[in-house]
Amino acid sequence: MKAFQVDQFVEGLHTNDSGKKFWVLLDPDREEPEQLKYAAEVSVDEGADTLLVGSSYYERNDFDESVKAVQEGAGGKVPVLLFPGNHQQLSEFADALLFLSLLSGRNPQYLIGEHILAAPKLRRMDLPAIPTGYYLVDGGRVTSVQSVTGTTPLPRKKIELIASHALAGQYLGMKLVYLEAGSGAKLTVPLDAIALTQKTIDVPLIVGGGIRTPEAAHAAAKAGADIVVIGNHLEKSRDPGRVREMAVAVHSAAREPVAKLV
């Protein structure tokens, strides 16, 4: 893949109700490099627009091998972005990384601390960083991100509070906003929170966490997510047909008018 251009990439994510994107998250802690390669191949063949690689809890020591395997599977057809749980999950074999600030929390380590540790490495690796405001929304159970970061998620019903957090992130310079219910969440990010956030901000909106059905993926996109991320559910079987269903569910939402939920 040719040199990654952050601004061009972000510009392409502004869907304006058309061209919703389907991203697949691959967890290098839970799958071997060979499995990751296959997962990447299947995801790309069946409609994923971008692959994310990362884990909120990572204890292996072959991160580079995992990212290389994902790149091989992706075959240069889509970008491979890091979605790091901390400053150790960096690899020059990725195209870029989501430089996540956990703005729903008040833990300085995830607001700025990890970033300082990562910055010199990013420079050495010449790895483009995409400033991303990352917001945990209560997903009905304690997820790994919540325990690892020691932060409290935003209450699901406080949709104005969620939207204000997102807008503050935009004003701080975040190029993307990511509303996260947490991997394996019981409940997905509420549709009214997605709709209000999308109406409030001007940067592309990513939504993920606990999406297990094409209907839920479609609903998130229709409510206003520019990008829908699915990890866990597809990991269970790597069924190409299921990946395709999810891709179609997200992409088809683009052709409908955005629901007026708020």
Contacts of 151 (CB under 8 A, 6+ apart): 102, 104, 105, 106, 107, 110, 136
Closest residue to ligand 1GP, judged by C-beta, is 208
Q: Cβ of residue 260: shortest distance to ligand 1GP, in angstroms?
A: 25
CA dist 239 to 51, 63, 105, 207, Å?
A: 16, 25, 35, 22
Longest Cα–Cα distance of the chain, Å, equals 47
Residue 127 phi, psi (nearest 5): -100, 120
The answer to whether 40 and 73 have CB atoms below 8 angstroms apart is: yes
Q: Cβ of residue 208: shortest distance to ligand 1GP, in angstroms?
A: 2
Chain residues in the site for ligand 1GP (CB under 6 A): 25, 180, 183-185, 208-211, 229-233
Radius of gyration of the chain (CA): 17
Q: Cβ of residue 22: shortest distance to ligand 1GP, in angstroms?
A: 12
C-beta of 54 vs 73, nearer to ligand 1GP: 54
Distance between CA 176 and CA 148 in Å, rounded?
23
Q: Cβ of residue 73: shortest distance to ligand 1GP, in angstroms?
A: 18
C-beta of 7 vs 44, nearer to ligand 1GP: 44
Distance between CA 176 and CA 155 in Å, rounded?
21
C-beta of 47 vs 208, nearer to ligand 1GP: 208
Q: Cβ of residue 126: shortest distance to ligand 1GP, in angstroms?
A: 26
C-beta of 91 vs 143, nearer to ligand 1GP: 143
C-beta of 86 vs 123, nearer to ligand 1GP: 86
